[in-house]
Amino acid sequence: MKFEVDGSKLPRGKSIPLGEIGKSDSIDLVSENDFIKDAEMEAFMNQEIQILVHSDREKGSLDVITPMVNGVNQPIIRGRKQYIKRKYVEALARGTHTGYEQSTADANRPEQIQMNERTTICYPFTVYDDPSPYGKQWLDNILATG
């Protein structure tokens, strides 16, 4: 029997609404031909998605993380479902860490060291509600391209 223990049944405190912090000063110019496409992308990236960033029990890990997009950041509390804009979800999905582990295929030839790469998401999360029918494909494309 397999089941996941993720702390979702633990009692939770009151929800604390957190909004964006900062101010974006610049305006990007677009050509008339691309205006509709850019406006649709802007609307898509500002849709709110419900996510949960998983808790991390590593010493020194932050309980609140703040991805930043164009000088504006969005505090996200780990371990709680929150609605945040898609643009911050993209920042989370692109936040990766690559570590390396050395190995030798033949102990008699230690000079032939191989570096094995391991890339992980810095802040693993789960998407619970995405209003767009294209949301999953969009996220899969981001994860596939890094």
Give the CB-side neighbour count of residue 138, counting CA atoms within 13 A: 16
Residue 11 lies in a domain: no
Task: For the chain, list residues with pLDDT below 70.
Answer: 1-21, 23-33, 146
In a domain, 44, yes or no: yes
Asked, for residue 53, whether it belongs to a domain, the answer is yes
Q: Domain containing 74: what range? A: 33-145
For residue 50, the model assigns a pLDDT of 94
Nearest-angstrom CA–CA distance, 17 and 62:
18
CA distance 117 to 94: 17
- Token digits of residue 116: 């094995």
First vs last Cα of the chain: how many Å apart? 34
Residue 76 has what pLDDT? 94
Tell me the pTM.
Answer: 0.70
In a domain, 123, yes or no: yes
How many domains does the chain contain in total?
Answer: 1
Tokens describing residue 112: 């032939």
Residue 9 lies in a domain: no
**94-119 CB burial, b ≥16 within 10 A, e <16:** eeeeeeeeeeeeeeeeeeeeeeeeee
- Report yes or no on 17 lying in a domain: no
Q: What pLDDT score does 85 carry? A: 95
Q: Which DSSP string corresponds to 21-42?
A: BS---------HHHHHHHHHHH
In a domain, 3, yes or no: no
